[in-house]
């Protein structure tokens, strides 16, 4: 059986505009290939400007690749066929404040993807929205709220609700946990794991937090200067990082843990 997602020889170049001369080419990603199986969590790690956000955006369809293909379920994703892409891949952004429209109620915002991508009538759409809000731990009444009436954690839940509304198979999360408070972050991680269990979603996580990646990811893809340095199972990579760069990324600052452990031993 073909894997859920297959990325083949993907590359992305940006061109600096020059007035008369041909522009200077900058390669953001080159020759990226990887696969993602159903129900798996893939973490993309790398230092700043290593191309991890660009890769996430290309997979989600926010940007178009310069060359290379993306295949989902043995089917090639066409460049501008957003309807096809929306049904299988959705994205959650870092800043839920900026990704929600503050002039529309939550219900209206959640209605949009359904209107554009499905043939459901209004009553069915409303029922779907109610269900999805309850699934992410909000109330059906939250559909009438405007984004500013909600707390940060609740807004991130709405963003996740919007992502799972079309029942996609892959959700791309670009630093979706980085800006959250510790208690909210733990809640959102639990929610994402629950959704994975219930709906069999695969996640692509862009993150720089080694602790979170170690806890939830099945596989890790390490990028440096737009190239893949390593693509491996999480446990194997954490046990034996293959070079200095990877080791530096995977450092988990453990002083609290050390102290608590030491104290437990003394007891």
> For binding to other proteins (CB under 8 A), which residues are involved?
41, 47-48, 151-154, 178, 181-184, 186-187, 189-190, 193-194, 208-212, 214-216, 234-235, 248-249, 251-257, 259-260, 263, 266-267
- Least separation in angstroms between CB 149 and other proteins: 8
- Least separation in angstroms between CB 259 and other proteins: 5
Query: ∠ CA(10), CA(12), CA(17), 5° rounding?
Result: 165
Residues in CB range of 261: below 8 A, 6 or more apart: none
Strand order in the sheet with 5-16: 24-36, 5-16, 67-72, 75-76
User: Quick one: 6 or 218, whose CB is closer to other proteins?
Assistant: 218
Residue 224 contacts residue 47 (beta carbons within 8 Å): yes
Q: How far apart are CA 72 and CA 88, in angstroms?
A: 8
Residue 1 contacts residue 73 (beta carbons within 8 Å): no
User: Quick one: 119 or 266, whose CB is closer to other proteins?
Assistant: 266
- Least separation in angstroms between CB 71 and other proteins: 27
Residue 169 contacts residue 4 (beta carbons within 8 Å): yes
- Least separation in angstroms between CB 74 and other proteins: 27
User: Quick one: 104 or 178, whose CB is closer to other proteins?
Assistant: 178
User: Quick one: 62 or 193, whose CB is closer to other proteins?
Assistant: 193
Residue that the structure tokens 């390669």 belong to: 27
Q: How far apart are CA 188 and CA 101, in angstroms?
A: 21
User: Quick one: 20 or 263, whose CB is closer to other proteins?
Assistant: 263
- Least separation in angstroms between CB 2 and other proteins: 25
User: Quick one: 165 or 177, whose CB is closer to other proteins?
Assistant: 177
- Least separation in angstroms between CB 4 and other proteins: 18
- Least separation in angstroms between CB 244 and other proteins: 11
**Residues 236, 238, 244, 249: is their CA dihedral positive or negative?**
positive
Nearest to 247 by CA among 32, 41, 45: 45
Residue 190 contacts residue 107 (beta carbons within 8 Å): no
User: Quick one: 122 or 151, whose CB is closer to other proteins?
Assistant: 151
């Amino acid at each position: 059986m073909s894997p859920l997602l297959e990325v083949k020889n993907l590359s992305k170049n940006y061109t600096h505009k020059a007035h008369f001369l041909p522009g200077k080419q900058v390669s953001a990603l080159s020759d990226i290939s990887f696969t993602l199986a159903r129900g798996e969590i893939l973490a993309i790690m790398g230092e700043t400007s290593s191309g991890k956000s660009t890769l996430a955006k290309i997979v989600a369809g926010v940007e178009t690749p310069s060359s290379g293909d993306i295949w989902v379920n043995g089917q090639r994703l066409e460049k501008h066929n957003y309807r096809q892409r929306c049904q299988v891949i959705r994205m959650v952004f870092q800043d839920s404040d900026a990704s929600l429209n503050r002039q529309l109620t939550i219900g209206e915002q959640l209605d949009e993807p359904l209107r554009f991508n499905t043939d459901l009538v209004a009553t069915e759409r409303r029922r779907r929205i109610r269900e999805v809000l309850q699934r992410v731990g909000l109330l059906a009444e939250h559909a009438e709220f405007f984004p500013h009436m909600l707390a940060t954690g609740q807004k991130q839940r709405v963003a996740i609700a919007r992502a799972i509304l079309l029942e996609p198979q892959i959700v791309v999360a670009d630093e979706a946990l980085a800006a959250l408070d510790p208690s909210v972050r733990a809640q959102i991680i639990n929610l994402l794991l629950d959704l994975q269990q219930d709906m069999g979603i695969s996640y692509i996580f862009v993150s720089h937090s080694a602790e979170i990646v170690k806890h939830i990811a099945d596989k890790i893809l390490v990028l440096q200067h737009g190239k893949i340095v390593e693509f491996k199972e999480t446990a194997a990579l954490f046990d034996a990082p293959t070079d200095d760069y990877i080791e530096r990324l995977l450092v988990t600052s453990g002083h609290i843990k050390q102290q608590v452990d030491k104290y437990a031993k003394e007891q």
